[in-house]
Amino acid sequence: MEQKREKFSSSFSVFFATLSSAVGLGNIWMFPYVVGVNGGAAFIIIYLGCVLVVGLPTLISEFVIGRGTRKNVYGAIKEVTNKKVFRSISTIGILATYVLLFFYTVVAGWVYSYVFKAIVGTFKGIDAAGATKIFNDTSIGPVSPIIGQLLVLIVAGTIIAMGVKGGIEKLTRITMPILMGLLLLLAIRSLTLDGAMEGVSFLLKPDFSKISIGTFLAALGLAFFKLSVGTGSMITYSSYFTDDNNLIATGVKVSIADTAVSLIAGLAIFPAVFSFGLEPSSGPGLLFNTVPLIFSKMPGGSFLVVIFFFLAAMAATTASISLLEVLIATFTEEFKFSRKKALVINVAIILAFGSLAALSANPEGLLAEIKIFNFSIFDAFDALISNILLPLNGLLIILLCGFSIKKGFVRDELTNGGTLNNEGIVSILLFIMRYITPILIIVIFLKTFI
C-alpha cells in the first residue's frame, strides 16, 4: 500500500519553501567570500551564466522527477529508470546530503553562537585582533563548535518533526520574507557609508584578468550549491508540489530570487568592507572576522549586527531543514522508519562525522593537522561536495531527464498535462538540457582535472 504523502498547500507556499532550500549560508557566507577571492564582478558574470545554462535546467529537471513520481530521491530515481548509471543518482545524492550537512552544520553552529554573542554585546568596540580571537574561541573547540552544531540539528529536526505543512511550510512562509527584508535593510545602510561606492564597483565592474579555469569550476560548484541541486533536496521538495504548479516558472522565480538575495548580501558586505579598509578576499573568515568588525565601527552597529546574524541563522536553519528532509523522507518511505526514529538516527550520524569537521575547520583546531589529500577534514568535505559530488550528480540528472526518461513524461510535467501554453519554451529548455548543459559540465570537469 502506497504511503500517503503531504503536499504544500499552494504555489505561494511552494515558492517560499523551495526558495528556503536554495537560500542559505551559500548566499550570506559562501557567495561573498567566493566573489571576493575570485575578483568580484567578473566572477559574478560567469556565475550568472552557470545559473542560466547549468543550474536552472538541472533545478527544473529535479522538479520534473520529484513531482512526477511523488517519492523521495531513492524511490523517485528507481521509478523513472532501471539503468545502473542513473540509479547511482540517488546514492550520490544521499551521500552528498550527508557530506554537505557534515560541514554545513559546523558553519551554521558558528552563526548560532554569533547570534548570542551579538545579543550580549560581545562585538562592541572590538578591533581586528579581537574579532579573530572571538572566532577562534568559537571555532577551535573542543566543546563550543560541537554544541553549536548540535543546536542547529535540534532546531531543524524539531521543525521537520512537525511535518511538511505544519513545520516546513509554516516556517518558510514567515521567515523568507523577513530574511529578504532584513538583508535589504542592511544593504541600504551599508551603501550610505563613506567610500561605499568602491565596494559597489568591486561587485559590478568586471576584471577579467582574474579569471582562470578554477574560476569556472568555483562558479559551477557555487551555482549547484546555492540552488540546492545535486543532493536530492529539490527532488524531495518538489514531490510535495501542487499538481497545478508551473515547474518552469517556479524554477525561474527561485533562481532569480536566490541570485538577488546573493547580490543584496554582497551589497550589504562589500561597501562596508571597502569603507573600513578591510580585505575583500579574506576567504571563509569574511563573515565571521570582518562583519562584526564592520558593525562595531558603524553607528547603530550593535543593533544591526544582531539583525545580520539572526537572518544568517534563519537562512542556515531553513537550508539545513531541506537537506535533512531528503534523509528523513528516504528513511520513512523506503525503510518504513517513523519520522522520530529517522531523525534520531540521522542526527547521530551527522553529529558523529560533523564533529570531525567542527574540530578541523580552524587551522588551530584539535584535528586540523589531519590531512586528506592536503585538505583538512572540513575542507575535504567542502571540496568533495562542491567540486565533485554536486556537479557529477547534476550531470547525471540532466542526462537522465534529457535522454533516458520518456519524452512524454518530461513534457507532461513541464506542460502540466498540456494545460499550459508553453510548448515553445519547453522545446528550448529540452534542447539546452540535452546539448548545452551536459557539455558545459563535462568541459569544465575535464579542464579542471586534466
Letter string b/e over residues 247-271, b meaning 16 or more CB atoms within 10 A of that residue's CB: bbebbbbbbebbbebbbbbbbbbbb
In sequence order, which residues have a C-beta less than 8 Å from that of residue 310 and are 6 or more positions away? 115, 118, 182
pLDDT tier for residue 398 given thresholds of 50, 70 and 90: very high
Q: Where do we find the cell 572566532?
A: 135
pLDDT tier for residue 291 given thresholds of 50, 70 and 90: confident
Higher pLDDT, 2 or 222: 222
C-alpha cell at 343: 531523525
Q: Could you read off the pLDDT of 297-312 as tens digits, one per residue? A: 777 878 888 888 887 8
pLDDT at 406: 84
pLDDT at 2: 42
pLDDT at 283: 61
| Neighbouring C-beta atoms of residue 242, cutoff 10 Å | 14
Residue 105 pLDDT more than 90? Answer: yes
Q: Could you read off the pLDDT of 222-241 as tens digits, one per residue? A: 888 788 888 888 898 898 88
Letter string b/e over residues 36-57, b meaning 16 or more CB atoms within 10 A of that residue's CB: bbbbbbbbbebbbbbbbbbbbb
pLDDT (mean) for 243-257: 91
Residue 219 bridge partners (DSSP):
none
Residue 339 pLDDT more than 90? Answer: no
Higher pLDDT, 2 or 129: 129
pLDDT (mean) for 157-184: 76
pLDDT (mean) for 41-54: 90
Residue 12 pLDDT more than 70? Answer: no
pLDDT tier for residue 173 given thresholds of 50, 70 and 90: confident
pLDDT at 20: 65
> How far apart (Å, rounded) are the C-alpha atoms in residues 139 and 388?
26
Taken in order of first residue, the domains within the chain and their CATH numbers are: 11-449 (1.10.4160)
pLDDT (mean) for 199-223: 82
pLDDT at 441: 83
> How far apart (Å, rounded) are the C-alpha atoms in residues 95 and 360?
20
pLDDT, the chain, mean: 85
**Model's pTM, two decimal places?**
0.86
C-alpha cell at 348: 547521530
Q: Could you read off the pLDDT of 19-34 as tens digits, one per residue? A: 666 666 777 777 887 8
pLDDT (mean) for 252-264: 88
| C-beta separation of 228 from 251 below 8 A | no
pLDDT at 1: 35
pLDDT (mean) for 96-124: 92
